[in-house]
């Protein structure tokens, strides 16, 4: 890296031997500054990142020298070099950040986690984070056409107005997927009207036998979205606790995603 302005020393913290560790800290630092658009001082960054203030100062100065940070009136703000990365790269950074957050949530829940949106009249499952011990639901019927039967779908439809819900159900006629699936459109609309916004939406083997799911709405700008999790029916006793934890983590995760 080039030498920073005002003669301050650049480079990794003394004794830092792992270049990937430095890179990890640099990315976390940039993300932390990004969460403070009006600027943030070194001490606050150190507390937020759980690092010594001296380490944060040295790393911030190095990033300043490359144009990624600016020091203005006692506070750090993002520098112009980030703008040059372009919108596409910025989107990739946000997606990587989302994936990390979902992976942490998966590990905490011990279950697969999903992020979905409703955009231009269609449901889209945009991220699925699962593992061998926390498998995802097998998409045996197109998620886009089965919103009536899934926790994700009903959570997204519940955020639309009445006409938006009717429009969706008119284009994607409810079909019976299991013996538990509700297929009557009026009954579905009544069910959506009665669903409290603060209560997780549950799917008890309505999409697939052997699987239960829960979904909670998320707000990120104008996004109609939701976070969801799924469990084998044998673990259905864990579903409500998982749904409550999902609701607790939804807002912080979306804040961390904010660009």
pLDDT per residue, tens digit, the chain (259 aa), is 333 333 333 333 444 444 456 777 888 898 899 888 889 999 999 999 999 999 999 999 988 887 888 898 889 988 876 665 555 566 666 777 788 889 999 999 999 999 999 999 999 999 999 999 999 999 999 999 999 999 999 999 999 999 999 999 999 999 999 999 999 999 999 999 999 888 999 999 999 999 999 999 987 667 789 999 999 999 999 999 999 999 888 877 776 555 4
Backbone angles phi, psi at 126, to 5 degrees: -95, -20
Backbone angles phi, psi at 91, to 5 degrees: -60, -40
Residue 97 is predicted with a pLDDT of: 75
Residue 18 is predicted with a pLDDT of: 45
CA dihedral 239, 98, 135, 203 (to 10 degrees): 40
As a whole number of angstroms, the distance between CA 196 and CA 41 comes to 41
CB 183 within 8 A of CB 148: yes
Residue 13 is predicted with a pLDDT of: 41
Residue 251 is predicted with a pLDDT of: 76
CB 61 within 8 A of CB 10: yes
Residue 246 is predicted with a pLDDT of: 92
For the chain, the first-to-last Cα distance in angstroms comes to: 26
Residue 82 is predicted with a pLDDT of: 65
| Closest to 243 (Cα-Cα) out of 194, 198, 193, 190 | 198
pTM, two decimal places? 0.67
Residue 99 is predicted with a pLDDT of: 86
Residue 257 is predicted with a pLDDT of: 58
As a whole number of angstroms, the distance between CA 43 and CA 37 comes to 16
CB 70 within 8 A of CB 79: yes
CB 103 within 8 A of CB 114: no
Residue 26 is predicted with a pLDDT of: 86
**84 CB-side CA count, 13 A:** 7
Domains of the chain: 5-83 (1.10.10.10), 87-257 (3.30.450.40)
Q: Which two tokens stand for residue 70?
A: 């600016």
């Amino acid at each position: 890296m080039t030498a920073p302005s005002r003669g301050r020393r650049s480079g990794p913290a003394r004794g830092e031997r792992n270049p990937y560790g430095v890179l990890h800290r640099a990315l976390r630092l940039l993300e932390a500054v990004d969460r403070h658009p009006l600027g943030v001082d070194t001490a606050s960054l150190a507390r937020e990142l759980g690092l010594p203030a001296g380490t944060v100062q040295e790393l911030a100065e190095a990033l300043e020298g490359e144009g990624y940070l600016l020091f203005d009136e006692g506070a750090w703000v993002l520098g112009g070099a980030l703008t040059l990365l372009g919108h596409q790269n910025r989107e990739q950074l946000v997606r990587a950040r989302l994936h990390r957050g979902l992976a942490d949530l998966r590990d905490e829940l011990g279950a697969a986690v999903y992020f979905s949106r409703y955009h231009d009249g269609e449901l889209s499952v945009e991220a699925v984070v699962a593992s061998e011990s926390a498998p995802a639901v097998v998409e045996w019927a197109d998620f886009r056409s089965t919103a009536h039967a899934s926790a994700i779908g009903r959570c997204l439809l519940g955020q639309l107005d009445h006409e938006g819900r009717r429009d969706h159900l008119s284009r994607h006629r409810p079909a019976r997927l299991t013996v538990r699936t509700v297929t009557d459109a009026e009954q579905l609309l009544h069910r959506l009207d009665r669903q409290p916004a603060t209560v997780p939406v549950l799917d008890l083997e309505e999409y697939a036998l052997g699987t239960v799911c829960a979904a909670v709405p998320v707000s990120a700008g104008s996004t109609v979205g939701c976070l969801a999790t799924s469990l084998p029916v044998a673990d259905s006793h864990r579903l409500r606790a998982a749904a409550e934890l999902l609701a607790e983590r939804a807002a912080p995760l979306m804040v961390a995603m904010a660009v």
